[in-house]
Structure 1
Amino acid sequence: MSDSSTGERAARPSEEAAEAAILAVAGRPDAGRSVAPEEVARSLATGPDWQSLLPLVRRAAIRLAESGRLVIYRKGKPVDPADLRGVYRLGLPPQD
């Protein structure tokens, strides 16, 4: 039973996996205009500890927004990813 600690701790998702999860969750037909970062963290989690993935989701969201592949909303309005503070939501850029 010496490997019980490895069985309890699942591998953390990569930065690329977080980016892919954000785009997948935001792109679902039922997603609406925006999604909460908690939804993305839950989709990435392999166990009950999805809250620990929120910083990873935040970093990935900022990278995607900086590259123009995502819009970060605060109080329903797009925000500059460099000024991201507090509660936020994620959405795909509008299709023209």
Structure 2
Amino acid sequence: MQISITGHHVEVTDSLKSHIEDKIGILKRHFDNVVDIHVILTVEKLEQKAEATVQISGAKLFAEDVQADMYVAIDNMVDKLDRQIVKFKEKNQNHR
């Protein structure tokens, strides 16, 4: 699994990187076939936005969240991705 983290108008610090990697480890619990994750962190005035595109075998999933705090936005974004992955996995198993 390859994780790429970029920042627009924000410097991606080591603490942000480690927080993202810890949270994305949760996604690996539910689905092992995660190929690539691209995380983009953006700051615009008072809004802090975290968005991610997850490439899994058979689909691309996207989630974003806007909050006043970057860490809360990352947590909410990962929760959204987690729900999407669980839904995809259940849908994939039901069709077989």
Which structure has the larger Rg?
Answer: 1
Q: Determine which structure has greater relative contact order: mean sequence separation of CA pairs < 8 Å that are 6+ residues apart, divided by chain length.
A: 1
TM-score w.r.t. the length of structure 1 is: 0.29
Structure with the largest fraction of strand: 2
